[in-house]
Amino acid sequence: MTTIDFTAEVEKRKDALMADLFNLLRINSAMDMEHADAENPFGPGPRKALDAFLEIAERDGYKTKNYDNYVGHFEYGEGDETLGIIGHLDVVPAGSGWDSNPFEPEIREGNLYARGASDDKGPTVACYYALNILKELNVPLSKKIRFIVGTNEETGWADMDYYFEHCELPLPDFGFSPDAEFPIINGEKGNITEYLHFAGKNAGSVVLHSFKAGLAENMVPESATAVISGAKNLQVALEKFVAEHVDKNLRFDLNEEDGKATITIYGKSAHGAMPEKGVNGATYLTLFLNQFDFADGAAAFIKVGSEKLLEDHEGEKLGIAYVDDLMGNTSMNAGVWSFDEATEGKIALNFRFPQGNSPERMQEILQKLDGVVEVELSKHLHTPHYVPMSDPLVSTLIDVYEKHTGLKGYETIIGGGTFGRLLERGVAYGAMFEGEQDTMHQANEFKPVENIFKAAAIYAEAIYELAK
């Protein structure tokens, strides 16, 4: 039985932890494929964040390995079994609506504001310091620990595909990802994006020249912009529309010149795993446009958005809804939208689905939608994942959580996807506490500073209990 006061050990390292975290948060590590190359597979930002993290580990005496700027890892300790800890350093795009620079971290009223503070640089650094406490105290362990950091978690997991293909070591035997919430995430729904393709045609008296919305498939689009021609009295119509949906706090911009009108509708972003927490600007823009005389592909694109996707987060209007007794419902986020009159229209539907539902079932149903010319499945598929409560990994992590919080632990199954599911015996564990506001993927993302330190203490004891 350990007598280490992990909370006190974290207290001694608070300043160092925050200094390292601030340095990582200052790096805009959102994917940037426009500037990607062989040395920067997801753009310069994710690479820079990986370099910075591995420099911290080397400073502290770990022997690191960088897998061609996709993923980095280091190992600590000896043993026949390996405990894996898997975090990520990439972030979703900052988007608009911030009260401060998203890449210049600020502490206000006890909260640390920055893109990545909560997802996932804050928790990853807390976990790193937890392991470092065991190393600095030279605590005897019977298992090897492998700390892995990825750079493409938010947009495709190509980092981990590369890692598993090129890593010369066997996979960890069990482990966790500090990229969700306490007490534990031991079940995750499947995850697939299905792309609806429409003809980029117009034949009505009103023409849709273009439509654009969404920064990532796993984010609710905060805003959407359409360029149209042939519609009259748009200012009055938009004012009436916003007034009719005052409960959604919609805003609009309108610019009319050279016979074309550019309309932007603003809603509210949210994580794609919980689309009901946002206001999808794209669906509301299609609802506004649906009153006008569009035809062909443009009309089909607008009708699907306004009549099938608006305020339907489980796919009931589409006919793809499915509920499982253990894992719950299917959720849907219409995350990225595009329409070009010269080419095509496209809507990316990101589904989080339970056991019993399947991508092929949903694809077959979606292909019957009026005006949809093709339904394409993303190459990136996660099948449903579950580790039972009886597994010692789960029971140990819940015990540590209960000890540190005084709260009762319980199992949770989510629609979000974490790196925990990469291991057959893998879960997600923290770092968001019960009652803590979830600001992941939103403007003004923040993490309460004290909860970063509290999580670090929990992680330290958890690693000790799993590897002692």
Instruction: Identify the pLDDT of residue 3.
Output: 87
Q: Are residues 166 and 216 in the same domain?
A: no
Q: Are residues 106 and 255 in the same domain?
A: no
Indicate the residue among 318, 344, 377 that finishes a domain. 377
Q: Are residues 328 and 212 in the same domain?
A: yes
Annotated catalytic residue, options 9, 119, 153, 314: 153
Indicate the residue among 350, 377, 404 that finishes a domain. 377
Instruction: Identify the pLDDT of residue 23.
Output: 98
Give pLDDT tens digits along the chain (468 positions): 558 999 999 999 999 999 999 999 999 999 999 999 999 999 999 999 999 999 999 999 999 999 999 999 999 999 999 999 999 999 999 999 999 999 999 999 999 999 999 999 999 999 999 999 999 999 999 999 999 999 999 988 999 999 999 999 999 999 999 999 999 999 999 999 999 999 999 989 999 999 999 999 989 999 999 999 999 999 999 999 999 999 999 999 999 999 999 999 999 999 898 999 999 999 999 999 999 999 999 999 999 999 999 999 999 999 999 999 999 999 999 999 999 999 999 999 999 999 999 999 999 999 999 999 999 999 888 899 999 999 999 999 999 999 999 999 999 998 877 999 999 999 999 999 999 999 998 999 999 999 999 999 999 999 999 999
Instruction: Identify the pLDDT of residue 156.
Output: 84
Instruction: Identify the pLDDT of residue 416.
Output: 74
The reply to whether 153 belongs to the active site is: yes
In a domain, 1, yes or no: no
- Domain of residue 296, residue span: 190-377
Q: Are residues 223 and 357 in the same domain?
A: yes
In 3D space, the residue among 326, 308, 70, 65 whose CA is nearest the CA of residue 196 turns out to be 308
In a domain, 203, yes or no: yes
Instruction: Identify the pLDDT of residue 2.
Output: 57
Q: Are residues 237 and 122 in the same domain?
A: no
CATH code where residue 304 lies: 3.30.70.360
- Entry pTM: 0.76
Instruction: Identify the pLDDT of residue 414.
Output: 87
Q: Are residues 182 and 221 in the same domain?
A: no
The reply to whether 90 belongs to the active site is: yes
Q: Are residues 262 and 196 in the same domain?
A: yes
Annotated catalytic residue, options 90, 188, 194, 461: 90
